[in-house]
Structure 1
Amino acid sequence: MRCRQLWGTLLALTIGGATTPAAAVPLISIVIDDLGDSWAEGQAAIALPGAVACAFLPESPHTRRLAELAHAARKEILVHLPLEPVAGRAHPLALSAQLATPQRSDWLGEMLAAVPYATGVNNHQGSLATSNRGAMHWLMRELSLRSTAFFIDSMTSTDSVAYPLARAYGIPATRRRVFLDHQRGEAETHAQFQRLVRIAKETGGALAIGHPYPETLKALAQLLPQLDGLGVALVEPSVLIRRVERQPPPLPMPLRMATTLSPAPEPALSAGAMP
């Protein structure tokens, strides 16, 4: 009798354990862009608690020293790669469609080498470039050949093809879902952070981009210690990609390579997109 009771108890526990798995915690990632121009803003961004990633502009005056500090603080580091916008003033180092192919490759190598410890890439501006299939075929092929660990499409244009083409070339990738400070202000950052949490709970994970504005950094310093109560976990972008995004298809793939980097017709920016 005791054997049968014990067997029944073990069977009940086994069945119960199999039918009630622990729910996965929704994940969020945050990238602070445009670092390197200001020493004080860079230090404040690096000092944010948790796995906030840091994206540095190549060749900015403080990029190398701040990237070294971020690495020492165990932050994930990205190259914030300047690409050509539809309108407005382009970054001085932005990729130009006028460059010949060898010059473009040299340019990219210099940009990637300018940020120590960088493992990922996301675009700075680039609303024109990221919507140009030829430009993105070239860029993603180059990044894949250079063993880039991951790519984040900053989604500065709703017409961007950067994310699907990164995946087509075998680069783990994701897209920005929320801008924390498209309009500056602590209240705006709080509101967008809550939106980030909502999207993560709906989809399993979401990434936000912010900038080293004092208002943004102050709001994040208040919000990040509250994550346990909000029911989400902050992780590095590479971890978010690995856990939430489907794995990109393996290379080689039969992709038709673009032979030129001719500009596409300029797409109109829609609400929520940035140049």
Structure 2
Amino acid sequence: MLSFSHFYSVTPKQNETIIVNENIQKLSQNETKSENNKQNFKKNISFSKDENLTKIFTDPKNKDETVALSTQTQNKQQKTQSDKNVQKEQTKIIYKSQQNPEKSKQELKIPEIKKEQISPSKDKIIIADTNVSKKPKFENNNTNKTEQENIIKPTITQEKQDSNISKEKPKQNQKESKKDSKQQKKDIKKHIKGEKPKLVIIIDDVATKEHVKMIQKTGLKLTPSFFPKTTASPNTPSLARDFQFYMIHLPLQAKFDKNPMPTTIKTDESYDSIDKKISQIKQDFKNVKYINNHTGSKFTSNQTAMDRLYKALNKYGFIFVDSRTSADTQVPIIAKKYNNPYISRDIFLDDSNELQNIKAQLDNAIAKAKKYGYAIAIAHPRKNTMQIINQNKDHIIKNVDVVYLNEIIKYYE
């Protein structure tokens, strides 16, 4: 019996030491595996010297993939670390059980690992925050229902307030813009009394000898506006010499123009490029002072582009006349900035090529000149337009004086 009891008292300690040794071996094996995994991961994501590393951070696809890899490795490292902690705790308890057998039952329990001990990665935190903000979860009890109502209701009311503010702002801006436009019209157009009304008729798109003859045939002081010299209109500088007064018809970018002219100035064009074009016009047309825009609905509605153009025009002594091809024209604002008079056309005579419509618009131009004392009309060298002007020459002379633009510039200053 003594030998058997002695054997029984010794075997548990031997078994426990064996278990401890096995656990220690497992720990060392796990450590070596984790180190190997780290090395393998480093090898997998290594980059060649020629590869552009900026793509990893600028390309959304590459960025997502690298983040996914990093989160996977972090999760693996966290799991291995937690396994190590558990195994270490188990070995400590086994050692303690050898010293205090009575407490072995309590201490042999595997300790619970709190969620707080494992710190989640940054990417997980962001995902969790967005999910919570979109769909808040509450338990099924009365107190949490009231909390849910208190949290959700303020957000809804805040959204309503924001939507109301966003609805009110455009209305205010529209009212302010209308007031500004009315004020601009009042400031720009002055009533001149005590003189015979004066009417300026600008003929745009002049580029050929035929156009020149059509204008001269009327016997009126019509103002020709010549295209700049290009391969399509190479003779405009020499044609302009036949006139005492003329203008330049400058092509500017339109919102809808499938075939723009090669000399068209675009909204994204640099100041140096614009300056070069305006300088060339000044060399080709030495005595010219006034420029109006051909098309230009996109350009004249862009403040930045108009600012660059005005800077160049002022440099070479030009005065800009707004053809008003856009209701959103920003020319009045830029003209005021450069202390230039804002000059704009009042009537288009031949938006329609119908004879009756052209005659009606001519009457509107005369009426406008009578109302304010002066007006500017724009037309084109077309057969029907010139026919109406020639047929109504006596009617025009009776009611207004047809003058050049420089004769009414004083009314705009």
TM-score (normalizing by structure 2): 0.50
Q: Distance in 1 between matches of 2:401 and 2:260?
A: 35
Aligned-residue CA RMSD (Å) = 1.9
Change (3 A) 1:92 1:238: same
Q: Which residue of 1 aligns with 2:367?
A: 198
Show CA shifts across 1:207-251 (max 9, x none). Answer: 000000011112112223333422x22111122221x32x2xxxx
Alignment of 1:241-260 (within 5 A): 241-242=409-410, 244-245=411-412, 247=413
Give 1:41 deviation, angstroms: 2.1
CA distance in 1, matches of 2:337, 2:215: 33
Q: Deviations over 1:57-93 (max 9, x none)?
A: 00113312220112xxx2x211111110011232221
Partner of 2:264: 94
**In 2, Cα distance between the equivalents of 1:112 and 1:185?**
37
Residue deviations 1:243-273 (CA, integer Å, cap 9, x gap): x32x2xxxxxxxxxxxxxxxxxxxxxxxxxx
Larger radius of gyration: 2
What pairs up with 1:45-124 in 2 under 5 angstroms? 45-59=215-229, 60-70=233-243, 74=244, 76-88=245-257, 89-124=259-294
DSSP-derived class of the 2:251 partner: strand
Q: Say whether 1:220 aligns with 2:389.
A: yes
CA–CA distance in structure 2, aligned partners of residues 164 and 110 of structure 1: 27
User: Greater shift after overlay, 93-102 or 120-129?
Assistant: 93-102
In the alignment, structure 1 residue 140 sits paired with structure 2 residue 313:
no
Contact 1:34/1:212 (<8 A) preserved:
yes
Distance in 2 (CA, whole Å) between partners of 1:113 and 1:223 is 38
Contact between 1:144 and 1:170, CA under 8 Å: does it hold in 2?
A: no
Q: What residue is the counterpart of 1:233 in the other structure?
A: 401
Give the match for residue 153 of structure 2. Answer: none
Q: Is the 8 A contact 1:186 1:216 kept in 2?
A: yes
Q: Which residue of the partner structure matches residue 178 of structure 1?
A: 347
Q: Are 1:189 and 1:216, in contact at CA under 8 Å, matched by a contact in 2? A: yes
Local SS of the residue matching 1:69? coil
Query: Is the Cα–Cα contact under 8 Å of residues 274 and 308 in structure 2 kept in the other structure?
Result: no
Q: Any conservation in 1 of the 2:268–2:305 contact (CA below 8 Å)?
A: no
Contact 1:53 1:78 in 2 (8 A): yes
Residue 219 and residue 167 in structure 1: after superposition, are their counterparts in 2 closer, same or farther (change >3 A)?
Answer: farther
What is the match of residue 256 of structure 1? none
> Which is strand-richer, 1 or 2?
1
Q: Which residue of 1 aligns with 2:357?
A: 188
Structure 1: which 5+ runs fail to align?
A: 1-21, 248-275
Q: For the residues of structure 2 that align with 1:116 and 1:226, how far apart are their CA atoms?
A: 36
The answer (yes or no) to whether the contact 2:274–2:312 under 8 Å persists in 1 is no
Distance 1:218 1:159, change over 3 A: same
Hey, what's the Cα distance between the residues in 2 that align with 1:158 and 1:97? 17
How far did residue 116 of structure 1 move? 4.9
CA contact (8 A) 1:57 1:79 kept: yes
Distance 2:260 2:405 in 1: 26
Q: How does 1:138-177 map to 2 (within 5 A)?
A: 138-148=308-318, 150-177=319-346
1:32 to 203, 210, 217: 203
Secondary structure of 2:194's match? coil
Match for residue 4 of structure 1?
none
Matched residue, 1:264: none
User: What's the TM-score once normalised by structure 1's chain length?
Assistant: 0.73
Q: Residues 213 and 144 of structure 1: is their aligned pair in 2 closer, same or farther, counting only changes over 3 Å? A: same
Q: Which residue is equivalent to 1:207?
A: 376
The equivalent residue for 1:251 is: none
Structure 1 residues 229 and 107: alpha-carbon distance in aligned structure 2, compared to 1, 3 A threshold: closer
Structure in which a larger fraction of residues adopt helix: 2
- Cα distance in 1, alignment partners of residues 397 and 226 from structure 2: 29
Aligned counterparts of 2:385 and 2:235: Cα–Cα separation in 1 = 20
The equivalent residue for 2:27 is none
Residue identity in the other structure for 2:404: E
Change (3 A) 1:113 1:182: farther
1:167 shift after superposition: 4.2
Structure 1 contact 67–117 (Cα < 8 Å) conserved: no
Give distance in 1, aligned partners of 2:306 and 2:201.
Answer: 24
- Give the partner amino acid of 2:296: G
Larger CA deviation: 176-185 vs 45-54: 45-54
Rounded to whole Å, the distance in 2 between the matches of 1:222 and 1:152 is: 28
